[in-house]
A and B are shown apart, each in its own frame.
Chain A
Amino acid sequence: MNQDVSDGVLVRRVLEGDTEAFAGLVTRHRERGLRFAAGMLGDRADAEEALQDAFVRAYRGLRSCREPDRFGAWFLRILVNRCRTRRAGRRRRDGLFVRDEAALERAASRPAGDPDWREEIDRALVRLDALQREAFLLKHVEGLEYQEMAGLTGARIPALKMRVKRACDHLRVLLQEVNDARVG
């Protein structure tokens, strides 16, 4: 893929009938998408399915992308919704909170004393309220401004700030001890 070609050019090529140009958009946005979906869903396979679903929906709805040069932001909104829908579906299927508890069990069942900082983070993340986790990932991992987050999630900025603050507070409680041991 030619990195010099903008998202807008690729979008327009797809709309003109060049289906294969969509592969360029997939390549360009898959890593960020997978990072967000894995953080939200706590399960790599689930995250890949949600991401693929989001890309297919984006392809089908590409004509509604009003600003082709901002395809990434538009796609992230689709992915946020797909992750929410997927979580809701899991709850309906498995019962309220059951799946999150299962994810927590999986995380907690890793070997005791596992020094892997990453696993500690994953365990902490699945303990967060879903909306707080979503806001935290968008703000601190994806680096979005609150205005962008409001456009993506439909939530108001004060509510988003509160979610991020609570997520950070919760993560500090869950991870401070581990972090102190690591850096100490």
Chain B
Amino acid sequence: MHGSAEDPLIARVAAELRRRPPAPPDFEARVMAAVRRLPPSLPARAWTWLREPRTLAVSPLGGLAAAAGLAALVIVGAWAATRSPAAGGAARVAAAPAAARDTHTLVTFVFMAPGARTVTVAGDFDGWDRVQMPMRRDASGLWTLDVPLPPGRYQYAFVVDGRRFVADPAAPRAVGDDFGQPTSVVTVAAGATRAGRGSL
């Protein structure tokens, strides 16, 4: 019963439309071939990247400058977050790449949510996993996480307490979101070393 029995004509139309020809026999194989061609998920690649031993040659002056730059980014992010009103547990977000290395850019996600018990980052870079990328909370309720990302355009959201998806209000919203959740867009440019809030 599909609610069209009260109108014989509509019922006949609906019944005919339910008799569509079947999918071609190779359809499943085509889909699976496309699925198998997908690159491995980003957490796996990121983990590999993080574990790879590498030598980083930094001059004393360069190291001092890099440390100062990182500290400035963290301070600016924290200042922006604390300046933002967090009404009813709503969050403010600042995200910025902290450094670039090889082909990846280390993107720092920052999220102010003092009332949250857990916050994770989920996005198409980790298969929208709600648990794999937990953020760390400081005493003020500021949650942060560094994620190395190769150049590209990604959709992401923050997951509060394992259930609620929250888009980044400081970043562009994703258009045509497939999964019915509010999401934001982050773009990591090739060779990027820094970017403003919400427009990485």
Contacts and interface: CB of A to CB of B under 8 A. Distances in A.
A44 B28 CA distance: 16
Contacts of B181: 64
Nearest to B9: A179
B23 A34 contact: yes
A140 B13 contact: yes
B22 interface: yes
Interface of A: 19-20, 22-23, 26-27, 30-31, 34-35, 38-39, 44, 48, 51-52, 55-57, 59-64, 74, 77-78, 81-82, 84-85, 117-118, 121, 124-125, 137, 139-143, 151, 154, 168, 171-172, 175-176, 179
15 contacts: A35-B17, A38-B20, A48-B24, A52-B30, A56-B31, A59-B35, A59-B38, A60-B124, A62-B127, A64-B130, A64-B179, A77-B179, A81-B177, A125-B17, A143-B3
Taking residues whose C-beta sits less than 8 angstroms from the other chain, chain B's interface range is 35 or more
Interface SS majority for chain A: helix
A30 B13 contact: no
B2 A139 contact: yes
A118 B18 contact: no
Given A35-B20, A39-B17, 12 more contacts: A26-B27, A34-B20, A56-B31, A60-B124, A63-B129, A64-B181, A77-B178, A78-B178, A121-B17, A141-B14, A141-B18, A143-B2
Interface of B: 1-4, 7, 9-10, 12-14, 16-18, 20-24, 27-28, 30-32, 34-36, 38, 122, 124, 126-130, 176-181
